[in-house]
Structure 1
Amino acid sequence: MTLIRFNKPFDVLSQFTDRGTETARATLSDYIDLPGVYPAGRLDRDSEGLLLLTDDGRLQARIADPKFKLPKTYLVQVEGEPDNSALAQLRGGVMLKDGPTRPALVERIDDPVLWSRDPPIRVRLSIPDRWIRLTISEGRNRQVRRMTAAVGHPTLRLVRWSIGDWSIADLPIGAWRAA
């Protein structure tokens, strides 16, 4: 069995081929030259950070399936300064169009030391931004972005830091290693 951790850069698709566009976009094949592995879950093109890949279908399902409630932790740069009320809403679960989310763990954090993003986020001088650490145990489409927007703080940058016990703490952007 093979399991690898990949620190996915911004603007890279979480698949090995790009189907359906005239201009080629960056894919996993631009970074990973290990045959037979497939992503265990997804990470949106405009998100960065940990993506697990494996050649074991059962492990892939266990990592990706929300019924196993594997915690996923994100470092999220949001617009504005989330107050205690906004954080309490995230902790209690947020109502989205597709139903309520499970409660999340969330805390304000100091600006993390991360690689620079290309292109950088849009900075507005009149509106501050803040980093939070958010841990969820489900994985709906664009869930973290929708949660922060629902409490009035749109996501500017999203970095998945860990899934369960696996993290990117020692992994440079664009690199992969055996888990």
Structure 2
Amino acid sequence: MDINCSYFNVVASSGVPAMHAAVIPPSGKVLFLDKVEDYSELRLPNNRYAYSSLYDPETHSLTSLPVATNPFCCGGSFLGDGRLVTVGGNAPLLWLDPTVQDGFDAIRYLGNQNETYGWEEPGNKLASNRWYASAQTLADGKMFVAAGSLNGLDPSNFSNNNPTFEILDENGVSNGENILMDILVDTMPY
């Protein structure tokens, strides 16, 4: 490797603004995830803009991935089987895209052991709305999902914040219970 190299080559594009990026196991493909926008480089078969794409670093090919719910400001983590799970998001922006619905309580899944990629949104929901949620996979394969805003509005207003956590099972399904976290109440809004 030449450490004195002063250039680089652009070999591909993400196809969508890269709000989130993740390497998807075991294929090594790279997921890009955006929000509902009025522009992206990629289009879906229905001629709507794509808000998610999958990049193959071996072939430099891009695949546009439709989303059913607005993933803006979602959290995410991986399940034990390698699927990426994103949680929460934003309200629908129906004037931009009437096909993408409310993402505040959404749970989205990408990838599986068969390497068939595409977002799955079977209708599983979080116990409450979460905008800017935090998610972490636990040692037992469950997922801890915490905090966020109930509506994406002013964080200095206590009624907008979600000072709770919930647990998703090893399949990424919520147990339906919000549990208050005192530290999130005591440190509100930060």
Q: Structure with the greater relative contact order (CA < 8 A, sep ≥ 6): 1 or 2?
A: 1
Pick the structure with greater CA Rg.
2
TM-score interval, smaller chain: under 0.3
Q: Between Structure 1 and Structure 2, which shows a larger proportion of strand residues?
A: 1
The structure richer in helix per residue is 1
TM-score normalised according to structure 1 size:
0.23
